[in-house]
């Protein structure tokens, strides 16, 4: 599935661009409910994997660690690959990124080839990427 930025995330991005809001670090979560994200999806629609029951997340994505530039004719921001390690068997459908206080979903990505049934001590690796076209 293509990356979705719900309306609440789009509003935050515009506020950051217009210097209306102060950008913060972001948090990346994995989710375990069978949801098909839309632009109307909100945080209350998500069922995150739970720390420490399921895994060792969320992971904080710090502002200075993104690589931003032109790649293949499109502008993108890419973060280094992140690894989530699981403590219990969990079904994972995708990932989402929130603001630092976990108030707004900035983007959601349902894994194209998921869901994954992750065993105890199993890992899921994700490379966060925003693409502007």
Q: Check residue 10 and report its DSSP letter.
A: H
Model confidence over 83-96: pLDDT tens digits? 999 999 999 999 99
Location of structure tokens 């973060």: 79
pTM: 0.90
DSSP string, 54-84: TBS--EEE-GGG-EEEEETTEEEEE---EEE
Model confidence over 101-119: pLDDT tens digits? 888 999 999 999 999 999 9
Residues of the chain with pLDDT > 90, as a percent, come to 65
Closest residue by Cα to residue 8 from 126, 132, 101: 101
Distance CA 112, CA 2 (A): 8
């Amino acid at each position: 599935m293509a990356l979705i930025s719900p309306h609440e995330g789009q509003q935050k991005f515009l506020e950051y661009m217009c210097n209306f809001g102060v950008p913060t670090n972001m948090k990346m979560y994995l989710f375990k409910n069978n949801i098909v994200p839309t632009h109307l999806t909100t945080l209350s629609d998500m069922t995150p994997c739970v720390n420490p029951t399921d895994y060792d997340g969320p992971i904080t994505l710090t502002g200075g660690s993104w690589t931003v530039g032109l790649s293949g004719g499109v502008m993108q921001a890419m973060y280094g690959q992140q690894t989530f390690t699981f403590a219990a068997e969990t079904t994972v459908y995708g990932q989402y990124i929130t603001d630092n206080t976990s108030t707004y979903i900035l983007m959601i990505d349902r894994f194209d080839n998921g869901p994954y049934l992750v065993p105890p001590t199993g890992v899921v690796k994700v490379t966060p990427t925003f693409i502007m076209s």
